[in-house]
């Protein structure tokens, strides 16, 4: 009888632990969901702003900040484009130089 009571108490304790863990886990997931949902909404709003949409609700300071971010991004884009064009020109020069050498020797 004592063993049966012992098993019952152990089982009851484990069940309570599982129930508590499930509740804590559910609460954490709810908080995490709300946090991620807010983050997604912020990212979607920022994306719309970068596309030039939903600007009416922005303050002057927010618009200036957005303009600065776009200017910085444009500088990075132009620098990358110039780098790729420079590489392309160098590659074309490297390829055409050997074909020009025989013409110089004929002169």
**Where exactly are the structural domains of the chain?**
1-56, 58-107
Please give the pLDDT value at position 23: 58
Write out pLDDT tens, residues 38-78. 999 999 999 999 999 999 999 999 999 999 999 999 999 99
Residue 106, pLDDT > 80, answer no
Neighbour count for residue 49 (Cβ, 10 Å) = 19
Please give the pLDDT value at position 55: 94
Distance from first CA to last CA of the chain, Å, rounded? 114
Q: What percent of the chain has pLDDT over 90?
A: 59
Please give the pLDDT value at position 105: 61
23's tokens: 């509740």
């Amino acid at each position: 009888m004592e063993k049966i009571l012992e098993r019952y108490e152990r089982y009851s304790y484990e069940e309570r632990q599982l129930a508590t863990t499930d509740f804590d886990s559910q609460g954490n997931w709810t908080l995490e969901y709300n946090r991620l949902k807010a983050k997604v909404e912020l990212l979607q709003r920022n994306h719309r702003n970068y596309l030039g949409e939903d600007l009416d609700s922005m303050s002057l300071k927010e618009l200036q900040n957005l303009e600065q971010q776009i200017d910085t991004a444009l500088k990075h884009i132009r620098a990358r484009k110039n780098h790729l064009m420079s590489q392309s020109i160098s590659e074309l020069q490297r390829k055409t130089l050997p074909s020009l050498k025989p013409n110089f020797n004929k002169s």
